[in-house]
Amino acid sequence: MNDSLINRCGWAKLELDVKYHDTEWGVPVYDDQKLFEFIILEMAQAGLSWSIILKKRENYRKAYDNFNPMLIAHYDNYKKLNLLEDIGIVRNKLKIAASIINAQAFLKIQDEFKSFSNYIWQFTENKVIYNRPFSLQEIPNSTELSVKISKELKTKGFKFLGPITCYAFLQAVGIVNDHVTSCFRYND
């Protein structure tokens, strides 16, 4: 089939964006380490384009020990300095510090709820939210749900996960399906 004839969400234009859109975005994720990966990546993306983060994703995997929250929670000042010097990732001091704090908060939620997946999916009673947008303009950048979850995560100690970043996370991990209705992935 000719790839140019496939209807996709309008934001998926570059090769990495298309691959991500076609195989990951909006697919429900229940694996804790994968959920944590998206927390780190969405947090890094704040204020930047997702395309930039996708280009740096493999570098993030290496720099952040394959997104292992148990290792990241124990990063020391030496590791922080290494991350700040790593040109393969977004070298933002506040985001790097927040990633370590978030790993610690993530582990506490795992202890309390048996998994982060149990915790995050409870907000939608383990159901995917289908918004049925006809166009990209109809997709909000935050919702009441993302505001609620963002506030809840903040009380649990998370940083850099405001309502907009939180909503992007919910979309990425398939809690929210925001594929436009004409997209071939909408009904997947």
Burial (CB count within 10 angstroms: exposed 0-12, middle 13-18, buried 19+), residue 132: exposed
Strands 176-177 and 129-130: parallel
In whole angstroms, what is the distance from residue 3 CA to residue 78 CA? 46
Q: Which of 25, 37, 42, 64 is catalytic?
A: 42
Kindly tell me the sign of the dihedral angle through the C-alpha atoms of 160, 165, 166, 169.
Answer: negative
CB proximity list for 83: less than 8 A, separation 6 or greater = 63, 64, 75, 89, 91, 96
Based on the residue annotation, tell me whether 42 is a catalytic residue of this protein. yes
User: Which of 25, 50, 64, 119 is flagged as catalytic?
Assistant: 50
25 catalytic per annotation: no
Closest CA to 28 of 179, 180, 183, 182: 179
**Alpha-helical regions (H) of 65-180:** 69-72, 77-85, 93-113, 116-121, 144-155, 163-172
Copy the structure tokens of residue 143. Answer: 């919702």
Active site residues: 20, 42, 50
